[in-house]
A and B are shown apart, each in its own frame.
Chain A
Amino acid sequence: SQQGEEDPQALSIQEGENATMNCSYKTSINNLQWYRQNSGRGLVHLILIRSNEREKHSGRLRVTLDTSKKSSSLLITASRAADTASYFCATVHRDNYGQNFVFGPGTRLSVLP
């Protein structure tokens, strides 16, 4: 079952603008991760934020996590055409079988030159 839900589903911005994507989830998590996927390719890990962290930065990426609201946001600053891709949040929680990754539906970002 899908746990993460991203919004917006699609986002189109101009190069140089900032892009913000949101993710909501339902159950308790160990950590939340964001991945990028270029069209028809494999996913690339961007950033991981643990359940006891509130904010994390990596280059032009900033991720926040609000466990009370069960939500996370990904901010890409000073966007570039190369940032055009689909972005997925993945929530990670453990059950009796090990760790379980559940991906949200994704946000398709288009950065126009």
Chain B
Amino acid sequence: DTEVTQTPKHLVMGMTNKKSLKCEQHMGHRAMYWYKQKAKKPPELMFVYSYEKLSINESVPSRFSPECPNSSLLNLHLHALQPEDSALYLCASSQVIPSGETQYFGPGTRLLVL
């Protein structure tokens, strides 16, 4: 199984809502990532989890809260978002080895904040 799944595919939320994005992989990867991608722009790294511990937080606002309940799951909790947070949110996973290897991406969740 070389698939990363993300749910939901689409999400519309108001600025006062609380919602969560979910990501799952069963490839035995111990590194998982959240990226944010605006239209016609490259993915921007938000968070990195390595062995279920947060290792990188790229100065992301606290209204985004990541969680890694186990080695296969990664969540992104959303609260009090702003319209400018509307974007495609991509999850990825990879092996954790010294030389760095391929990242496998999910299809993304397209988020619209009204």
Contacts and interface: CB of A to CB of B under 8 A. Distances in A.
User: Do A and B interact?
Assistant: yes
Interface of A: 2, 30-31, 33, 35, 40-45, 48, 50, 88, 90, 92-94, 97-106, 108
B53 to A, nearest CB: 10
A43 B48 contact: no
Contact of A97 (B55, B100, B103): B55
Contacts of B98: 94
Interface of B: 4, 31, 33, 40-45, 48, 50, 55-56, 88, 90, 92, 94, 96, 98-108, 110
B108 A105 contact: no
Contacts of B45: 100-102
Given A42-B105, A50-B99, A105-B42, A97 B56 contact: yes
A102 B43 CA distance: 8
B42 A44 contact: no
Contacts of B33: 101
Contact of A48 (B4, B56, B102): B102
Contacts of A99: 31, 94, 96, 100
Given A42-B107, A92-B100, A98 B42 contact: no
Given A41-B108, A88-B42, A106-B42, A101 B31 contact: no
6 contacts: A2-B42, A30-B100, A31-B99, A43-B103, A103-B43, A103-B44
Given A30-B100, A98-B55, A98-B56, 8 more contacts: A2-B42, A35-B105, A42-B4, A88-B42, A88-B43, A99-B100, A103-B42, A104-B42
A30 B107 CA distance: 26
B113 to A, nearest CB: 17
A43 B105 CA distance: 6
A43 B43 contact: yes
